């Protein structure tokens, strides 16, 4: 089981003893998924919070008209879950689908409770992770409110160059909240500007 990347990641926030690390490792699940598979589908209960070891996922909402609205992508060293569904064990709002063959470390709800009970440091760790996620989420809201489509695209391109390389352009458009045609127009505009 490849747990090194996770333990290394955690070590940036709190330091666990060997014993604690072993306990943690005993509680998590390591699993590979294939491109196209789903971790959660909207309406299901999200059973796991996951740390991505390798690969890529998209988290999206599908509206009544069948349109996909992409919330986020996750790659190596990122977390993914439908937090609302996982925490409250209620039906998920979002789908999480693998865009590449992906290796994950998965925390079930029970494992999470067990870990909090036995390793209080992890309470601190996850608080800090979620604080960061919340801050990023708030900043995204403000970007969506205050930036033009072009500026949002430039921000995305600049902030996540690794991601832009790996996913089709229509998914970037969906993430930015614009149509694929309009993104295509923006990109050709940007090219002709130079």
Q: How far is the CB of 153 from DNA (least distance, A)?
A: 9
Residue among 150, 154, 155, 166 that touches DNA (CB under 7 A): 150
Residue among 90, 128, 137, 169 that touches DNA (CB under 7 A): 169
Q: How many residues of this chain bind DNA (CB under 7 A)?
A: 17
Determine the straight-line distance between the first and last CA of the chain, rounded to whole angstroms: 49
Residue among 45, 83, 106, 149 that touches a second copy (CB under 8 A): 83
User: Rg of the chain's alpha carbons, rounded to an integer?
Assistant: 18
- Residue 177 binding DNA, by CB under 7 A: yes
81 by DSSP, 3-state: which? coil
Residue among 149, 154, 155, 166 that touches DNA (CB under 7 A): 149
- Residue 69 binding a second copy, by CB under 8 A: yes
The residue written with tokens 């569904």 in the block is 85
Residue 119, both tokens:
């390793």
> How many CB atoms sit inside 10 A of residue 176's CB?
21
**What's the DSSP call for residue 12?**
T
- Residue 140 binding DNA, by CB under 7 A: no
Residue among 142, 181, 190, 193 that touches DNA (CB under 7 A): 181
- Residue 145 binding a second copy, by CB under 8 A: yes
Element (H, E) at 62: strand 57-62
Q: How far is the CB of 191 from a second copy (least distance, A)?
A: 25
Closest to 39 measured CA to CA, from 132, 87, 84, 103: 103
Binding site for DNA (CB under 7 A): 148-150, 168-170, 177-185, 187-188
């Amino acid at each position: 089981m490849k747990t090194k990347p996770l333990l290394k990641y955690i070590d940036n926030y709190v330091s666990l003893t060997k014993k604690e690390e072993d306990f943690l490792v005993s509680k998590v699940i390591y699993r590979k998924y294939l491109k196209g598979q789903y971790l959660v589908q909207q309406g299901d209960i999200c059973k796991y919070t996951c740390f991505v070891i390798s690969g890529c996922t998209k988290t999206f909402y599908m509206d009544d008209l069948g349109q996909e609205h992409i919330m986020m992508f996750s790659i190596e060293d990122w977390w993914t879950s439908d937090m609302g569904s996982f925490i409250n064990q209620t039906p998920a709002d979002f789908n999480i689908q693998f865009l590449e063959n992906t290796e994950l470390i998965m925390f079930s709800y029970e494992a999470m409770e067990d870990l909090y009970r036995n390793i209080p440091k992890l309470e601190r760790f996850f608080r800090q992770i979620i604080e960061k996620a919340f801050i990023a989420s708030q900043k995204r809201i403000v970007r969506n409110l205050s930036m033009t489509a072009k500026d949002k695209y430039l921000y995305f391109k600049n902030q996540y160059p690794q991601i832009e390389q790996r996913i089709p352009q229509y998914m970037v458009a969906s993430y930015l909240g614009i149509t694929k045609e309009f993104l295509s127009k923006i990109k050709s505009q940007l090219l002709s500007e130079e």
